[in-house]
Structure 1
């Protein structure tokens, strides 16, 4: 059953057609430098195997499409590595033609909200490169807080870029998105 937001559909992977779209996404010359720490290179068909493995790991993995047309836009992932700590690592990747239109914000808000409501998470975490001010602004606007900076951690486009860690706690999210008294909720009230 797919999930719907105002403009987006978040659905399960359906097979090779999605792998072709994901390969196109990860191989995009504007997207690659914002998500890969490895040297940028053309990704071949063998990278589909990497993508298949990537899709099997997350707690929540969705292909993001434009509801109106069904057009592939990108993907959102949420992975809980250690269930005991209830901390999920979040990532989202969209094709450049969908940037700067609020789609990333809409999808991120849905996925994080869904995770806090249905997975009982205590926090959501993410990493973003310091040369991606658009993404940083979105994350901060919806409640993520800068938690750490690994200075000059990634060699990119003939220069060093910082790697930033951000996170949001369930109680912070609740206070911002669920109403005035929701922020008083603690993990024991789950």
Structure 2
């Protein structure tokens, strides 16, 4: 999950509690399933804490068995489009562990840019992890879809 602070690593009750909390407070949340088998793949959430600012936060969590298959890219593209086209957000942001290079690549492919780095901010797996803050603005999304639709 990448809303606010990155989620605890995928083990035990702490992670399940995090997922439940994220989904209960979301503007949009969905379970992600494989279109071919119906198998549970993960979940996605979109929070808009201050609706007046039209500033949303995106989070996604996929089971490791489904990494590197394009699901993260597909889900991220869908949520970015949904956030700007249907909710009318001005910006969409997320946070991600800097060491999660695959996720950073997925987000960059969807148009997110790195806006900052919080160094050694989360203790995870017996070490300090940096957290990246990424965002995409409505105008950037409009420019991207205009290019893609040509």
2:103 alignment counterpart: 135
1:166 and 2:134 correspond: yes
Distance in 1, matches of 2:131 and 2:31, equals 26
2:59, 2:131 → 1: CA distance?
Answer: 14
From 113, 117, 120, the equivalent of 1:149 is 117
Deviation at 1:52, TM superposition (A): 4.1
Residue 148 of structure 1 and its aligned partner are, at CA, apart by 0.8
The 8 Å contact of residues 8 and 124 in structure 2, kept in 1 or not, is answered as no
CA distance in 1, matches of 2:53, 2:143: 21
Q: Deviations over 1:35-68 (max 9, x none)?
A: 218xx86318xx7666444322101100000111
Gaps of 5+ in 1: 1-25, 27-33, 183-190
5+ residue gaps, structure 2? none
The root-mean-square deviation of aligned C-alpha atoms, in Å, is 2.3
Residue 85 of structure 2 corresponds to residue 120 of structure 1 = no
* Residue equivalent to 2:8: 36
1:70 to 38, 47, 50: 38
TM-score by length of 1: 0.69
Given candidates 59, 63, 69, the residue that maps to 1:101 is 69
The total of aligned residue pairs comes to 144
If asked which structure has higher relative contact order (CA below 8 Å, sep 6+), I would say 2
**Structure 1 equivalent of residue 59 of structure 2:** 91
Structure of greater Rg: 1
1:179 aligns with 2:149: no
